[in-house]
């Protein structure tokens, strides 16, 4: 638009597979749907193997590439460092990026441990850079609308938050021992990989969790060596078997500050459920239900509905009244998984230009990590554990 200052924000991304693709797409589509006032520039992507990172740069539209993430962080033509590598790298990269004065967006979970997560938060605060963690499911229009209904008091006091995050991609015992199944690389299994998303939705919609009791289980103890091969696929090399050191499944109960009772289940062994990320909230005046696999809709129930017509109804969150939905198509013309990342990156880049700290950020990452840590402690102690905030 003539007369409107456009602000270019130059991105450097580290890693380029599953989340690399989701983030690259989001940067590219952001100005297409939300206007060019803020324009992400895909300046450089970093990876360890030259041929592979070169191909990725070409496919995803990055101007240049690096084969050492430290070089990418040193570059003066980069404003933002985007971390889409496995969890054990998040802390080292984020702390180095903060010291270099870069704004940081990182994938979840924030770190391997609560201690590491706290160091990351300290680094971004000390260096006064903006920070964000990619809990993208918050940014589905239906979830944002659920938040609005809760804030408007439509549910009244909330009694229950119930979440299941169900996947099945490692049920085959020959699925390889990828980084997601090694504690020293991932921190935990289903708990930190997908349970962390449910925890974020719980904190976003209902508030802080103070105490947990839970249990974690590993069904398949050994697997053949291998690597992730894009998305949630694995490539076994069948050379030797190694030990799975994380949970395949976790279940826990949580008490919220508000008095709400939470129940959570996260598993990679729920056959037939590819990415069934769902929650139900029950309040004194109504209930809400959402399911990622039908992410454009929200089921709502209001106790004040006329007698005889009461029950859950399904609304399509594709109207202008639904956050972000107005940037896309006419009502009923649905959007998908990738759009949740566009919305998250929209908030992040506007936070940078507007000098406002967006959420969820490293503070949320630390609070999330404290809950993950408490669940793990409880699984070991077989007792209720306090969340160490």
Q: Which residues lie near ligand NAD (CB under 6 A)?
A: 15-20, 47-48, 69, 84-87, 89, 107-108, 134, 136, 193, 228
Question: Taking the complex as a whole, how short is the minimal distance between the CB of residue 167 and ligand NAD, in angstroms?
Answer: 11
Contacts of 281 (CB under 8 A, 6+ apart): 146, 150, 155, 158, 160, 161, 162, 205, 206, 287, 288, 289
- Burial code (b: 16+ CB inside 10 Å, e: under 16) for 7-16 equals eebbbbbbbb
Cβ proximity to ligand NAD: between 136 and 369 the closer is: 136
Nearest approach, Cβ of 29 to ligand NAD (angstroms)?
17
Contacts for 342 with CB less than 8 Å, ≥ 6 apart: 25, 26, 29, 30, 33, 34
Residue 215 dihedral angles phi and psi, to the nearest 5°: -145, 145
Q: Which is nearer to ligand NAD, 186 or 379 (CB)?
A: 186
From 46, 48, 11, select the one nearest 26 (Cα to Cα): 11
The answer to whether 291 and 137 have CB atoms below 8 angstroms apart is: no
User: Which residues in 170-260 belong to E strands, given as ranges?
Assistant: 209-217, 222-228, 234-243, 249-256
CB of 66 to ligand NAD, least distance (A): 11
* 369 within 8 A of 110, measured Cβ to Cβ: yes
Instruction: Give yes or no for a cis peptide into 2 (omega within 30° of 0).
Output: no
Task: Using the minimum distance from each CB to ligand NAD, give the nearer residue, 65 or 161.
Answer: 65
The span from the CA of 80 to the CA of 78, in Å, is 6
What's the min distance (Å) between Cβ of 175 and ligand NAD?
A: 14
Q: Whose Cβ is closer to ligand NAD: residue 66's or residue 280's?
A: 66
Nearer to ligand NAD, 82 or 265 (CB): 82
Q: Which is nearer to ligand NAD, 302 or 337 (CB)?
A: 337
- Take residue 12 and report the two structure tokens written for it: 């450097």
Structure tokens at 378: 């409880």
Ranked by CB distance to ligand NAD, the top (closest) residue is: 17
Smallest gap from Cβ 283 to ligand NAD, in A, equals 27
Based on CB atoms, which residue is closest to ligand NAD, 105 or 370?
105
Instruction: Give the shortest CB-119-to-ligand NAD separation in angstroms.
Output: 17
Task: Find the shortest distance in angstroms from Cβ 4 to ligand NAD.
Answer: 31
């Amino acid at each position: 638009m003539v007369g409107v200052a456009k602000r270019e924000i130059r991105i450097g991304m580290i890693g380029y597979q599953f989340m690399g693709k989701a983030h690259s797409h989001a940067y590219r589509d952001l100005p297409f749907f939300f206007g060019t006032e803020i324009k992400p520039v895909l300046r450089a992507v970093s990876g360890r193997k030259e041929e592979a990172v070169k191909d990725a740069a070409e496919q995803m539209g990055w101007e240049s590439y690096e084969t050492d993430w430290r070089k990418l962080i040193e570059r003066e033509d980069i404003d933002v460092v985007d971390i889409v590598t496995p969890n054990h790298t998040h802390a080292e990269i984020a702390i180095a990026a903060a010291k270099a004065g870069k704004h940081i967006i990182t994938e979840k979970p924030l770190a391997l441990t609560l201690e590491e997560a706290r160091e990351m938060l300290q680094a971004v605060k000390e260096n006064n850079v903006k920070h964000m963690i990619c809990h993208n499911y918050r940014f589905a229009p239906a979830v944002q609308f659920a938040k609005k209904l809760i804030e408007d008091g439509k549910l009244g006091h909330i009694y229950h938050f119930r979440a299941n995050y169900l996947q099945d991609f490692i049920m085959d015992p020959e699925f390889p021992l990828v980084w997601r199944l090694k504690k020293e690389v991932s921190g935990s299994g289903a708990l930190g990989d997908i349970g962390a998303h449910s925890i974020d939705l719980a904190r976003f919609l209902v508030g802080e969790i103070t105490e947990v009791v839970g249990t974690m289980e590993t069904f398949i103890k050994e697997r053949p060596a291998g690597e992730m091969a894009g998305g949630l696929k694995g490539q076994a090399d069948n050379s030797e078997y190694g030990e799975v050191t994380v949970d395949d499944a976790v279940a826990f109960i949580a008490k919220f500050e508000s008095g709400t009772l939470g129940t959570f289940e996260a598993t990679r062994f729920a056959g037939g459920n590819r990415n069934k990320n769902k929650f139900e909230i029950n309040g004194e005046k109504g209930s809400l239900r959402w399911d990622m696999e039908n992410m454009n809709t929200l089921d709502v129930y209001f106790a004040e509905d006329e007698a005889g017509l009461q029950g859950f109804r399904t609304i399509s969150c594709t109207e202008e009244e639904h956050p972000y939905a107005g940037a896309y198509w006419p009502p009923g013309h649905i959007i998908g998984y990738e759009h949740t990342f566009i919305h998250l990156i929209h908030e992040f880049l506007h936070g940078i230009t507007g000098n406002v700290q967006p959420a969820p950020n490293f503070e949320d990452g630390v609070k999330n990590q404290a809950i993950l840590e408490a669940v793990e402690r409880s699984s070991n102690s077989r007792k209720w554990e306090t969340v160490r905030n």
